[in-house]
Chain A
Amino acid sequence: MDTPARLSAEELEAARKRTGPIEWREMWLAFSMLAPTVLIVAAVVLLPLAANFWISVKPIGLAELRPPAPIVRERVRGEIAAAGDVIRVEYRVRSSSQDRPVTDVIFNDTLTEGLVPVTIPEECSIDGAAIECRMAELPPRERFTLIFELEATAAYLDAGSPNPRDTEVEATGRSENVLTSFEFTLENFRKVFDAREFWTVLWVSFVYTIGGTAGALLLGLFAAQLLNSSFRGRGILRGLFLFPYVSPVIAVAFTWVFLLDPFSGTVNAILTTTGVTGETINFLGQRGLALTTVIAFEAWRYFPLSFLFILARMQSLSSDLFEAAEMDGASPFQKFFFISLPQLVGIVSTLFLLRFIWTFNKFDDIFLLTGGASGTRTFTVNVYEQAFAISNLGAGAAVAVVIFFVLAIFVFGYFRFGPKEEGM
């Protein structure tokens, strides 16, 4: 296999040797035409991929995505009946985070008209009607109370005794963003690999991937045989067979869930009335069976894709070989196994490799069908489970890193053993 790096170096050198202005212009044209693609893909795929590695070694939960901020609550103690009465206005200040401090806290409020400050806390100053308080640091889990004593004047009573709390408190503070800090941990990976669950997830992922891929390919091969000859209604059937692949996953997944419902599902009703089973079957809720059902769904949803590719290949096969075999008295199955199948090996193995990778990557299907319950939790579902259900982004990212490396092995295998296309 040619490594891209060596080849490009060679090409670069060749281009330099020629030093034709046309080559250089062509090169720059090519680069500028590729620029939008490179930019978008770099921003939304490559950078996040790198960021995922970063997050996987950070102690970060879903809640910490929002940086800690100061929270200020205002309370009023005492009542004013006449001018000269004194009330206490308290500001209770704390950090929104349970374990991270906020520094350089500043909050502002407006002094209610007609109230004259008697005592003010040392952190605060009053300029006209503007109250401003500054605090150097708010440690986590500590509350501070700043107390103002205010004396009412006649003007206050004339204004209809407005509540001092009516004016809004604005608070700002600086805090360290966990995402950009240099605090690292290997806890996430330890969590992922330590649990006995890891091996279950690995096993389930592979059973699902291999089962789903093989099922879709076998069904596709079968369907392609059916529609290879021409007959009336073939176009309609071909269109119909593509439905599962074209339809949105949410629509078909929910339909399956309802059809397979153990209490009110049609499939169970059919099975019991035809006497196939005595009791209803919990297709999506029973360990083992759920995995089979999910694999069946995968095969059902993706057989159209392999069907399309295999059919296209079959129709491009030359009929000479078949005619020669017919003359030599080959039986139909012999023709299939010794003439069709060998010529389909290429497309089938390409499809297998591609589908294998895509099935491994699949998240939506299992998530919508079982949510990863009943022994159907694959790696991809585990990412969601860790990051969003348990709210531990770091652990989710660590699972994603594992996925990335498993995939890297597959992709390497694909380019090493996969089809070699001309010009690639």
Chain B
Amino acid sequence: MQARGIVLAVIFGALWGYIAAIVLGVSITMVFAVPAALTGWAAAAAGIVGALAWLLLDNAGRSGPYDTRRLVIAMIAYAIVLLLLTFFAPLGFALGERPVGGVLVLLVMSIVTVLAVAACFDDAPWRELRRYKFETVVLRGLKGFGFVFFTVIVAFPFYAMLMTSFKKQADLLANPLDYSINITQGFNELFSSYIELFQDFNFGRLIVISTVVSVVTVIVTLAASIPGAYAIARLRFPGRIGFSRSILMIYMVPAIVLVIPLYAVFSQLGLRDTLLGLMIVYPATTIPVALYMLQGYFRGLPAELEEAGMMDGCTRIGVIWRITMPLSVPALASVALYVFMIAWNEFLFAFMFLDNPDIFTLSRGVVSLNSSEVPRQHLMAGAVIVTIPILVIFLWFERFLVSGLTAGSVKG
């Protein structure tokens, strides 16, 4: 039973030692541009020693997991081992070079590592780690790792995107790890990529075009899918089941299969290189989704309310307008947001159809920045510009979007 506890301590010590060192080290390098060589393996070894020290100092089970004496000794053990293993250069430079920063980082690393190990074990008695407690501890370790893992894989690309847009191509090539920005250089210098995009590449215009196209798509989609969804959810007519099935099937038709015929036909009709063409294609791709989501929601509404309305002399249309629609505001909002998101993010048709830079949508405009003549920070600034509105809208209405997505479209 004791062996289990020790093995877990070794694993957690190594894991957290390594993760703390790498994550902290990389973050410091990226934020402060200190060229740190990272010492993951040494930190893992130090983490093992620190974890074991913490484990063995439990005073025969009488000291709690967060007992100060226990934690501090473990941290000191960690720090000493790390210093010895790295020849007093835990961050790749001698501690004497940057004493304050170096010691501070070392302190944070030791605290994070030891506390993480302590939090994984918590009050589990490591000397008799029976199955239940053992699995609880393993699960805590997994969860902790999961939080770090997901946060890093999601946040890191977005951070890189944002910071790259503030840098200069030459700096980026010289040190790809350096994401520090010099705030003292002034607004114009800092935002030079953005300013250039708005001045030379007409991004203001692109934003307007993208907004118009997306809003029109939302309106057309809702106008067609609300009555359609209502008919499928409430009215009886022959072929209703077949109909709602085929809606789902249309949702599964890949856009790339439609591109060639639409390209050919739109070229002949002169619709290809126009925004009208896009505004015809986009609703067609979103209506099936919207219809499917809405009919699921409408079906969940109590029919009695509508029947009461009919009894009181409302027509069908009146019932839809006065009863169903006000009740479905959350669903309508989530569908509208979802459709807006699809239209805003759409890339394939915009890329295939639009050649004229005057009518580019934002997505199309950003793709056109992907050439060797345009510096990398411009492309990233474009990516930030196209991403920010959608993220803001999304975070603002997150609840709507999430509940609508999960409740309406797929039932458990």
The verdict on A168 contacting chain B, using a C-beta distance below 8 Å, is no
Option from B236, B243, B255, B405 in Cβ contact (under 8 Å) with A363:
B255
User: Is the CB–CB distance between B402 and A308 below 8 Å?
Assistant: yes
Interface flags, B394-411, vs A, CB<8A=1, else 0: 110010001001110011
The verdict on A95 contacting chain B, using a C-beta distance below 8 Å, is no
Interface segment, one of A102-110, A249-257, A283-291: A249-257
Report B1-56 residues with CB < 8 Å from chain A CB. 22, 25-26, 29-30, 36-38, 40-41
User: Is the CB–CB distance between A41 and B237 below 8 Å?
Assistant: no
Among B40, B154, B225, B362, find the residue whose CB has the most chain A CB atoms closer than 10 A. Answer: B154
Q: Which B residues lie within 8 Å of A15 (CB)?
A: 236, 238
Interface segment, one of A128-136, A196-204, A260-268: A260-268
Among A246, A251, A269, find the residue whose CB has the most chain B CB atoms closer than 10 A. Answer: A251
User: Is the CB–CB distance between B406 and A248 below 8 Å?
Assistant: no
The verdict on A338 contacting chain B, using a C-beta distance below 8 Å, is no
User: Is the CB–CB distance between A239 and B398 below 8 Å?
Assistant: yes
Distance of A244 Cα from B260 Cα, bound (Å): 29
State how many angstroms separate the Cβ of B136 from the closest Cβ of chain A: 6
Distance of A250 Cα from B350 Cα, bound (Å): 12
Distance of A392 Cα from B38 Cα, bound (Å): 52
Option from B153, B238, B285 in Cβ contact (under 8 Å) with A300:
B153
Among A23, A37, A380, find the residue whose CB has the most chain B CB atoms closer than 10 A. Answer: A37
Q: Which A residues lie within 8 Å of B135 (CB)?
A: 331-333
Known contacts A44-B262, A250-B386, A269-B177; is-contact A411 B37 (Cβ 8 Å): no
The verdict on B303 contacting chain A, using a C-beta distance below 8 Å, is no
> Which applies to chain B's interface (DSSP): helix, strand, loop or mixed?
helix
Option from B157, B252, B387, B412 in Cβ contact (under 8 Å) with A316:
B412
User: Is the CB–CB distance between A33 and B177 below 8 Å?
Assistant: no
User: Is the CB–CB distance between B411 and A421 below 8 Å?
Assistant: yes
Interface segment, one of A1-9, A85-93, A150-158: A1-9
Option from B176, B237, B398 in Cβ contact (under 8 Å) with A269:
B176
The verdict on B256 contacting chain A, using a C-beta distance below 8 Å, is yes
Interface segment, one of A115-123, A140-148, A222-230: A222-230
User: Is the CB–CB distance between B316 and A259 below 8 Å?
Assistant: no
User: Is the CB–CB distance between A226 and B143 below 8 Å?
Assistant: yes
Known contacts A49-B257, A52-B261, A316-B412; is-contact A407 B252 (Cβ 8 Å): yes
State how many angstroms separate the Cβ of A17 from the closest Cβ of chain B: 13
Interface segment, one of B107-115, B158-166, B198-206, B324-332: B158-166
User: Is the CB–CB distance between A44 and B281 below 8 Å?
Assistant: yes
Distance of A12 Cα from B240 Cα, bound (Å): 11
Interface flags, A15-54, vs B, CB<8A=1, else 0: 1000000010011011101101100110111111101101
User: Is the CB–CB distance between A4 and B391 below 8 Å?
Assistant: no
Option from B139, B231, B255 in Cβ contact (under 8 Å) with A29:
B231
The verdict on B207 contacting chain A, using a C-beta distance below 8 Å, is no
The verdict on B372 contacting chain A, using a C-beta distance below 8 Å, is no
The verdict on B98 contacting chain A, using a C-beta distance below 8 Å, is no
Distance of A27 Cα from B228 Cα, bound (Å): 13
Of the A-B pairs whose beta carbons lie under 8 Å apart in the complex, a sample of 12, sorted by A's number, is: A48-B257, A51-B264, A179-B264, A246-B390, A248-B362, A266-B30, A270-B22, A361-B252, A361-B254, A368-B347, A387-B263, A404-B257
Given contacts A52-B258, A222-B146, A275-B41, 19 further A-B contacts (CB under 8 A): A2-B241, A15-B236, A36-B227, A37-B287, A40-B284, A54-B261, A55-B264, A243-B391, A247-B387, A248-B344, A250-B363, A252-B157, A255-B164, A258-B380, A266-B179, A268-B176, A364-B348, A383-B256, A388-B352
Q: Which 5 A-B pairs have the closest CB atoms?
A: A4-B242, A44-B284, A361-B254, A51-B261, A251-B383
